[in-house]
Structure 1
Amino acid sequence: MATIELPYEVLVYIFKYLPPSDRKAASETCQAWYQAANDYCFLKNKTIVFYKTDLNEETSPIQVIENSVIPYFNFLFSELEISNKLNSFWDKIGENIKGLTIRKCDIHEKVIDNILHQCTSLETLNIQGCKELFMSGCLLEKTNTWIADSFKNLKSLNLSDNKYITDALFYRFVKNAPVLENLCLSLCPLQFHGGFIKRFYPNTNNIFENPSECVFTFYFVLQFIKSRADQIKSLVFSNTLIDGAALKSLSEIQNLKLECLQLNMCDQLTNAGIISLTIHQQTLRELDIGLCTRVTDQSLMYISENLIHLEYLNIQRCRAVTDLGVAELNKLKKLKRLNISQCELITREGIEKGICKEENITLQELDVNSLNLVQTGVIMISETLTNLRFIDLSFCFNAVTDTSIQVIFKNQLLLHTLKISYCDKVSDAGLTGMGKVETEGDEEGPVMSNYNEGSMPNRIHLGSRAEEEIIRDARRKRDVMRMCEKLTMDSYTGYSLARIKSLKELNISGCNRITDVSLTYAFTLKELQSLNLSRCQQITVDGIKHLVKNCPSIEYLNLNDCYNLKDDAVFEIVKGLTRLQYLELRGCNQLTDKTLEAVQDHCKILKVLDIQGCHNISAELGCSIGTLPTLHTVLMSKPGPYITDGVKNRSPAPPLIPSLLRKLRLH
């Protein structure tokens, strides 16, 4: 039968519906699919990442990109050396680069000057954590006219975590960026005290003529923002000493209409500053004031009253916020993402009066981890917020049970991320929906987590409370297994995890009642990419076999402290999960060198491997696995000292290949 080749435009249209990992897999099918998967509409959002690799080697991966017929537009260089030996690379493709990130790299001023000289189409520039680059103060000192040509289209600038940045260095970047909209200065040593103004700018008529080469002042940044007030849309001052007075002066800038402001971990921030912000910057759509300890209900009331266009709000660990403030959130009709996690004074009552006052189909992401919720609170959230894509219920110990998780499986069919880590009341009964057998006359409803625990009331148990719990768990596992074997999916009375077909990320770490039963009967999730099963200590190779078969798209797998896993389980994982990139096996102390041999034989695209605490794996083999071409990080325990005849042998560890040492992090 003859095959039909789809037109290029049709392939591109179809690929738009695929997630990036599926599109990448499809691109390896044939030349036509490869070209369609690398159409400009996909390439403009794709980033080439170089992380912890030697770009100066003869077989450097940089040469593959340099000689590629496909143009790439975004690059990220992280934790590596960038030298002038790469000049030919920038000469060839520099004019195509639109997004460039240089993070914690070893790079010289002259090298970055040459790079920026060649990148004439930049729209996004991130230089983060490169402290040596700013230390001399000579960066961009002799740029003449070419810098204006390179920065003419620059819209986003990130200079975060550079401790030696000064007003002069900052101004060299921004003065030549006429269309700059987004500015990030988080973790920068901004000085807010008025004394710095008197000391370094006694004459404030035109501070841009002689910016300070000694300090980085908020006053100078403020004057720049005033000069570009009609263009600036997004600002990030997270992890700085910005206070209420500084925020008030920023908010009151004439013609400034911010859409996004991030002030995460700003301990000096006060209600007065936030109140001024809500009065003067009512165009805000995103506001992050998480971990700002001085924020109270008063701030939340003004936010809810004035910022009517807000779509994202983060008040994580604002511990002074109570139900009184959260109840006001019902006024934010456009809110799509909300983080109220770790606010100890927020309870079910506040959430009910706020975001759950009525059915809410606007909210799509909700983070309530570590709140003092009860089971009915989670049920209320699930029944009211029916359009959620993301929900984090981690550490809600009393709220997430087999009953409440069943309501989530019933109502939240659009979820792509579910996190319930350390909610140890959840068992196989909840994940499989097999806690109750369907009988005539029974109303359809969720399972109960304490089923079958009251059996054999006349027997006296002489063991400890822990032993009694182990017996109950074993009995529960046996009964759920029998139900699963007996019934088909169509005859469930409860709701299985398998109902959430679109789930891409699942975190059930620390849920130690989860066993192979759940992996066998509930984990049929074709779209699942990230799975955290750490500290689910009852899992064995029997469950892993079904998991690998029914969840083939997993890229990140965390099995830390699953001490019942042996080499045969890892063999099933590396053989079956062809897309696996991150594998964490820390504390799985039954694993041996056979595990690494299996990884070496089958993992073709693995990037990170964690084998800390696996004491039966030899250090030599752990080092040699670094030869895998894609593997950039191996986390392992320190080798030695070795024991010989009961005496510590302090002779040096076996010699390691220097190029491999860059891939290892010894803990």
Structure 2
Amino acid sequence: MGYMPSEYDKYFNFGLIDYSEFDINIEPPTPPPIPQNNINTNQEDQVSMQENIDSSQESIENQVKDQEIMPELNQDEQDESLTIETDSDMNYCFDIVSYSLNPECTNIEEVVNYEDTILEPEQSKDTLSSENETFEENEEELESNFDKVPMEIIVHIFKFLNPSDLKFVALVSRKFLSACMYKKLSKNFMLHFVDSYYKEFSVQISQFVDSLRIFPIISLNTGNFDIAAQSFWLDYGLNIEEIYFRNGILRKEEFENIIRWTKNLKVLKIESNSIFATWHIRNDYSERLFVFENCYHISLAKNAFINRKIFDYMVSKAPNLREIDLSYCLGKLNGRDRNMLLDHFIFYLKGYGDTIKAINLTHTLTDDYFLQQLSEVKCLKLKSLSLTFNGCVTNNKFGLIPLLRAQNELEMLNLSESPAVEETILMEISTNLKHIRRLILRKCSHVTDYSLVPISRCEYLEAIDITACDLVTDEGIHDALMIGTPKKHMKELYFALLSNITEVMFVRLGPKFHEQITHLDLGGSTNLADDALQTIFCHFTKIRFLNLDSCCKISDYGLTGKFQNQCYFSIKNLRGLRIFRMQNCYKVTDFALIDSFEFNELRELYMARTHFKREGLEALVKNCPAIEILDLGEVDGVDDDTIEIVTKHLHRLHTLKLNGNEKITERIFDHIYQNCLDIKYLYLRNCPNINADNIMNQLYLMKSLRKVYLE
């Protein structure tokens, strides 16, 4: 049986993410024509769709839980960089960020009855121009091939497409457009309000509310709302199922004005250091008027001002809460206040712990006494637990050991950056957690080969992360994965920053996990060479994510399999590869790019600090047309002409990193403007020939551009 993502993976995941990003710019001018090989999904496109389609799609009830939450761009990079607003209207733009995790639906009967929920738009009867009439005739001819295919079958197939492909397939026919309006597919996209919006923006708000597409997931980077915004929540609130509040200060009155109209909310995240700074909880009747009956997840992560009253106020809004995230909290509280809040959290779990299934306390200061109290909550039966353990393991009455014995139904355990984790803890995990699926031991410095031996008894293990466990060698991995119960469900291996592993490990693991592995992280494992890659390309042909960053011994032979007139295994065997990282691989040349890089599904490619030239990069972009994120920082052969070639062939490109390239000039903006209609992020740090003052006029022309990172 293959790996089936659970509802808890999306909050404590690693390596499961498959995402893309794009903007919606709301502007009143006439919409531009849509390019053949690119889609600039903006509000103008929505207005154009309204002109061609009379009847709007009826919204349907979502019956399937979300699979994955998107990964954001590096916030630290954004904070440290210079941000250039590319348009005077960019302060009022919408930003869509999409994420997806391809589901493995095994039963077609799980699909809901679409006859009552998905309606095909009627053919427009308005008077159209001759050009539009010709377009409709051609469209009807195209649709005729799909008339006999049931809508539920089309929607089921579309569930396996990534968000970028969904944007393209919606333009094929009206029937495909109707299928893409299915609410389950709409949850692949998040509407991100970047900056404040004011009363004069109410026209664009109304256009958004009247559009065909529904966005059940919304993210807000600010708390500045006014009358126009309140009308938005009034008209659109019932469609919203997930809200994220990030950055800024959110006033309590503003929050209450929002939640009163979002009665169908399922996920609420309030993650910012200062977002609760002005809150005053009165505990009166008005604060208890509105609740989220369907809300199952609340996150208060990264909040420095959280206290008992705020915690009670938030959890009281969700009577059916199942998941709580308090990660990166309590760091600025003194010891007394922190212990009072943790004791109050235990008190809450004793009353409502029977419904709680996931808790995240990563990087939240706890002690052995708190963990011992947590283990004594009899009604608590967790499926997912994340915490940073710094306590003592010699006492079986306090700390993590009694907690593991009490929570024997755990399926996901994250102990990242816990220096106290050693063989005693892993022995308890293998003995008590019989159904463990995901085990994360990232940066647990005391984990050794001997510590990993008990893992061999974990029959249902699907993912293991031992990144930066420096004491682990080939023998420890062999004993953990090869000996004992067969690991028939193993899908993901994260072995980054392990300097003591060699190709011998993969020679042993290859036949054992033949065509099982989908995620493989070897970044920073500097001892790996070409022979290890040959074994990987032979046995792990279903890999979707591969990280080879800083594997400096890798050469063309490892990637191409060609050596002295001999042809072995090439990276081309990984036909489904979607994310590939090979930064700091100095020995790889253009020959590897020309010979072996042919991936129709490759979406993210990171090649910073390599020695590729124009010929290799040209072959790469021609054979990998679906790339959306490309990192060419500090690449020797990158110049203006190379950027022209790259932008001409990568029409889906939305993030381009060119940090540290001394040969590029301001000419690259002409190529990007002409060819990349969906570009959003440009990284141009340490580029001496680019002056911010000279490029402002060119940046204003790029409607989709969101951020530019300079010195």
Provide the TM-score with structure 1 as the length reference.
0.80
Distance 2:145 2:708 in 1: 43
Q: CA deviation at 1:55?
A: 6.7
Q: CA deviation at 1:588?
A: 1.0
Is 1:588 aligned with 2:588? no
Q: Which residue of 1 aligns with 2:494?
A: 367
Q: Which residue of 2 aligns with 1:356?
A: 482
Please list, as runs of the form range in 1=range in 2, the aligned pairs for 1:622-661 lying within 5 A after superposition.
622-627=695-700, 628-637=702-711
CA contact (8 A) 1:314 1:339 kept: yes
Q: Which residue of 1 aligns with 2:671?
A: 598
Is 1:342 aligned with 2:485? no
Please list, as runs of the form range in 1=range in 2, the aligned pairs for 1:182-221 lying within 5 A after superposition.
182-189=323-330, 217-221=341-345
Q: Which residue of 2 aligns with 1:157?
A: 298
Is 1:383 aligned with 2:511? yes
Q: CA deviation at 1:78?
A: 3.0
Q: Which residue of 1 aligns with 2:642?
A: 569
Which stretch shifts more, 322-331 or 45-54?
Answer: 45-54
Q: CA deviation at 1:568?
A: 1.1
Render the CA deviation track for 1:601-653: whole Å, top value 9, x for unaligned: 2221112110111111121244445432322221112xxxxxxxxxxxxxxxx
CA contact (8 A) 1:622 1:636 kept: no
Q: 1:571 to 1:143 in 2, by over 3 A?
A: farther
Q: 1:531 to 1:216 in 2, by over 3 A?
A: farther
Is 1:12 aligned with 2:155? yes
Q: Which residue of 1 aligns with 2:247?
A: 104
Render the CA deviation track for 1:54-112: whole Å, top value 9, x for unaligned: 57663986555322133321111236744454111101011221111111134332221
Which stretch shifts more, 406-415 or 135-144?
Answer: 135-144
Distance 1:540 1:194 in 2: 57
Which stretch shifts more, 416-425 or 602-611?
Answer: 602-611
CA contact (8 A) 2:321 2:355 kept: yes
Is 1:281 aligned with 2:424? no
Q: Secondary structure at the match of 1:21?
A: helix
Render the CA deviation track for 1:521-542: whole Å, top value 9, x for unaligned: 1110000011000111x21121
CA contact (8 A) 1:55 1:62 kept: no
Distance 1:26 1:56 in 2: 36
Q: Which residue of 2 aligns with 1:93?
A: 236
Render the CA deviation track for 1:576-609: whole Å, top value 9, x for unaligned: 1111111100001100011122112222111211
Please list, as runs of the form range in 1=range in 2, the aligned pairs for 1:104-503 lying within 5 A after superposition.
104-129=247-272, 131=274, 133-138=275-280, 144=286, 147-189=288-330, 217-264=341-388, 266-268=389-391, 272-357=398-483, 360-371=487-498, 372-386=500-514, 387-398=516-527, 400-438=528-566, 493-503=567-577
What letter matches 1:549 in structure 2?
K
Q: CA deviation at 1:21?
A: 1.8
Say which of 218, 223, 229 aligns to 1:75: 218
Q: Secondary structure at the match of 2:562?
A: coil
Is 1:48 aligned with 2:191? yes
Distance 1:89 1:346 in 2: 54
Q: Secondary structure at the match of 1:144?
A: helix
Q: 1:625 to 1:239 in 2, by over 3 A?
A: farther
Q: 1:347 to 1:393 in 2, by over 3 A?
A: same
What letter matches 1:303 in structure 2?
I
Say which of 655, 668, 686 aligns to 1:613: 686
Q: Which residue of 2 aligns with 1:524?
A: 598
Q: Secondary structure at the match of 1:262?
A: strand
What letter matches 2:419 in structure 1?
T
Which stretch shifts more, 307-316 or 64-73?
Answer: 64-73
For the pair shown, the structure with the greater C-alpha radius of gyration is: 1
Q: Which residue of 1 aligns with 2:22?
A: none
Q: Secondary structure at the match of 1:101?
A: strand
Q: Secondary structure at the match of 1:135?
A: coil
Please list, as runs of the form range in 1=range in 2, the aligned pairs for 1:495-574 lying within 5 A after superposition.
495-536=569-610, 538-574=611-647
CA contact (8 A) 1:557 1:583 kept: yes
Q: 1:277 to 1:636 in 2, by over 3 A?
A: same
CA contact (8 A) 2:461 2:487 kept: no
Render the CA deviation track for 1:539-581: whole Å, top value 9, x for unaligned: 1121111111111111111111113211111111212111111
Q: Secondary structure at the match of 1:291?
A: coil
Distance 2:335 2:710 in 1: 49
Q: Which residue of 2 aligns with 1:477?
A: none
Distance 2:381 2:577 in 1: 37
Q: CA deviation at 1:378?
A: 3.0
Q: Secondary structure at the match of 2:430?
A: helix
Distance 1:252 1:609 in 2: 52
Which stretch shifts more, 106-115 or 116-125?
Answer: 106-115
Q: Secondary structure at the match of 1:354?
A: helix
Higher relative contact order (CA 8 A, sep 6+): 2
CA contact (8 A) 2:467 2:494 kept: yes
Distance 2:386 2:533 in 1: 33
Q: CA deviation at 1:6?
A: 1.1
What letter matches 1:375 in structure 2?
E
Distance 2:473 2:292 in 1: 49
CA contact (8 A) 1:336 1:362 kept: yes
CA contact (8 A) 1:191 1:218 kept: no
Which stretch shifts more, 21-30 or 346-355?
Answer: 21-30
CA contact (8 A) 2:163 2:188 kept: no
Structure 2's unaligned 5+ residue stretches are: 1-137
Q: CA deviation at 1:349?
A: 0.8
Distance 1:622 1:251 in 2: 60
What letter matches 1:430 in structure 2?
G
Q: 1:240 to 1:621 in 2, by over 3 A?
A: same
Q: Which residue of 1 aligns with 2:17?
A: none
What letter matches 1:357 in structure 2?
I
Distance 1:310 1:354 in 2: 14
Render the CA deviation track for 1:389-415: whole Å, top value 9, x for unaligned: 1010111111x2111101100111110
Structure 1's unaligned 5+ residue stretches are: 198-214, 439-492, 638-667
Q: 1:40 to 1:85 in 2, by over 3 A?
A: closer
Render the CA deviation track for 1:185-207: whole Å, top value 9, x for unaligned: 1122179999559xxxxxxxxxx
Distance 1:83 1:378 in 2: 59
Q: 1:82 to 1:571 in 2, by over 3 A?
A: farther
Q: CA deviation at 1:384?
A: 2.5
Distance 2:677 2:198 in 1: 21
CA contact (8 A) 2:324 2:359 kept: yes
Q: Which residue of 2 aligns with 1:207?
A: none
Q: Secondary structure at the match of 1:599?
A: helix
Q: Which residue of 2 aligns with 1:202?
A: none
Provide the TM-score with structure 2 as the length reference.
0.75
What letter matches 1:138 in structure 2?
H
Number of aligned residue pairs: give it. Answer: 561
What letter matches 1:397 in structure 2?
T
Distance 1:297 1:550 in 2: 48
Distance 1:69 1:107 in 2: 30
Q: 1:163 to 1:594 in 2, by over 3 A?
A: same
CA contact (8 A) 1:148 1:177 kept: no
Instruction: Supply the RMSD in Å over aligned alpha carbons.
Output: 2.4
Distance 2:387 2:220 in 1: 26
Q: Secondary structure at the match of 1:107?
A: coil
Q: Secondary structure at the match of 2:667?
A: helix
